[in-house]
Amino acid sequence: MASEPRAIAARTASASREARRIAQLAESPALFEAQRWFARERGWINETHLQLCRIPAPTFFEGQRAEWFRAQLEQFGWRARLDRAGNVLADQPESETPLLIVSAHLDTVFAPNRPDDISIASDGRLLGPGVSDNGAGLSALLALARLLVENPDLQSLASRVLLVANVGEEGEGNLSGMRYLCLHGLPRQSRPIGAFLVLDGPSTEHITAQALASRRFEIAFSGPGGHSWNDYGVPNPVHALGELISHFAQGADARLAAERKTRSSYNFGIVEGGSSINAIPSAARAKLDLRSENSAVLDELAALLRTSVERSLEREQRISRAGKLSAAIKELGSRPGGKLDDKSPLLEAVQAVDNYLNIRSRIDCASTDANVPLSMGLPAISIGAGGQGGGAHTSGEWYQPEGRETGLRRILLLLALLAEA
């Protein structure tokens, strides 16, 4: 028991050292002036935010926004290019070993049909799809990029940074951009990556240091179809799908109720089938999202899905009088899990910065681009870029830029602290 007080004392002393270190760093002439830059350029940042959100970038179709983003970075003075996945990468021409990677995803769940779909409300909020997720992260990335090259005292920090605007984060994109970056797109270097800093959304209240694992499936039933009266008795794909959902939900609810140590979820987000009230459908399908802090639970739920499909298929065939029903399961995506060590220098650094800025943050578990580096044992966190937002993944999405500067200062100070390590 004597070792516990010593451990607490050691952590307290370490936190105190970090607090003094970040205070000295933040109040140095170069960084003090740099933090004021965000407030001075508030209008430009808001206008840039509005402009980029008006460029449609649904998952798998991010090309137009990516090219615009590349051009902006090149204009600022970065060496910017697109990799084979469609990610935008930028570093300084004199940079040889960028050890700090700052990223934000380009894609959105919904895209504006026309520029006017992205607007400004009377209270200053930005309205429209993608303004919060991930307009907040992308505009922060551009603000950081411009600041680092305009301030001569930050050139050393700029040479340590690789900026990434990546594709394929949302939905069935399955983190494809970040997967490619981590497996094929990082520059060769003798020293290990110091940190991945993922900018996703606005909230500064969370530090995502644990990757939420997920698996996604499409289940499809198909049969001959027919008239609801004349062909009654032909197996019905919609009936089979309903039986599947019912059986899976009962089994999953029981399994998750028994698993109290970790949080898990399931969701049938899309259910489709049929064309007329008086026609037996020839096809029906559903899409299922599974998430868990425990990868083993995901495997159990995937096994339950297969059992439920077989059971519903057998039941529908047993009661039918003619024709055959078939079923297929397709895995649409799998996001890996992982966790940053509680004593990681990256975690200690962001908490020190938060203490200095009086940000009340908490460590959480979520599914973000940080899943990929975390699953590979690389230091990574996902944080918000400042401001406030809501309605993500809906047509009523909004973003309030008030308070954005605190999030931008947080990003800058965290990078400066990590660069000194």
Domain around 312: 214-335
Residue 297 and residue 409 in one domain:
no
**Residue 62 CB neighbour total at 10 angstroms:** 30
Of 335, 351, 366, which residue constitutes the final position of a domain? 335
* CATH number of the domain encompassing residue 68: 3.40.630.10
Q: Are residues 361 and 288 in the same domain?
A: no
What pLDDT shows up at residue 321? 86
Structure confidence by residue, pLDDT tens digits, 190-204: 567 899 999 999 999
pLDDT of residue 229: 96
pLDDT band at 6; cut points 50, 70, 90: low
Among residues 301, 335, 369, the one where a domain terminates is 335
Over range 31-41, report the average pLDDT.
Answer: 97
State yes or no: pLDDT of 150 exceeds 60.
yes
Question: Inter-axis angle of helices 42-53 and 404-420, to 10 degrees?
Answer: 100
Q: The domain spanning residue 253 has which CATH number?
A: 3.30.70.360
Q: Is the pLDDT of residue 16 over 80?
A: no
Domain identity same for 106 and 192: yes
pLDDT at 287: 98
Residues 65 and 183 grouped into a single domain: yes
* The pLDDT value given to residue 377: 94
pLDDT tens profile 218-259? 999 999 999 999 999 999 999 999 999 999 999 999 999 988
Quickly state the pLDDT bin for 15 (edges 50, 70, 90).
low
Say what the pLDDT of residue 19 is: 81
Work out the percent of the chain whose per-residue pLDDT is above 90: 86
Helix then strand then coil, in percent of the chain rounded to 5, is 45, 25, 35
Whole-structure pTM value = 0.89
pLDDT number for residue 175: 97
pLDDT at residue 346 in the model: 96
Q: Is the pLDDT of residue 409 over 80?
A: yes
pLDDT number for residue 395: 86
Identity at 298, one-letter amino acid code = L
Position 2 confidence tier, pLDDT thresholds 50, 70, 90: low
Backbone angles phi, psi at 389, to 5 degrees: -155, 170
Residue 326 Cα distances to 319, 359, 415, angstroms: 15, 55, 54
Are the C-beta atoms of 91 and 79 separated by less than 8 Å? yes
Same domain flag for 230 and 184: no
Average pLDDT over residues 101-107: 98
DSSP conformational letter for 19: H
- Taking the C-alpha atoms of residue 295 and residue 300, their distance in angstroms, rounded to an integer, is 9
Whole-number Å distance between alpha carbons of 14 and 94? 35
Range scoring the smallest mean pLDDT among 2-6, 95-99, 188-192: 2-6
Residue 386 sits in the same domain as residue 279: no
Q: Is the pLDDT reported for residue 333 higher than 90?
A: yes
pLDDT confidence of 5, banded at 50, 70, 90? low
Structure tokens at 412: 């800058």
Confidence (pLDDT) at 27: 94
> In terms of domains, do 193 and 226 share one?
no
**For the residues 385-392, what does the mean pLDDT come to?**
96
Confidence band of 11 (pLDDT split at 50, 70, 90): low
pLDDT tops 90 at residue 90: yes
Examine the domain organization and report whether 224 and 286 are in the same domain.
Answer: yes
- pLDDT value, residue 180: 97
Q: Do 182 and 49 belong to one domain?
A: yes
pLDDT at 205 over 90: yes
Which distant-in-sequence residues (6+ apart) come within 8 Å of 139 by Cβ?
Answer: 45, 48, 49, 52, 385
226, 201: one domain: no
The pLDDT > 70 percentage for the chain reads 95
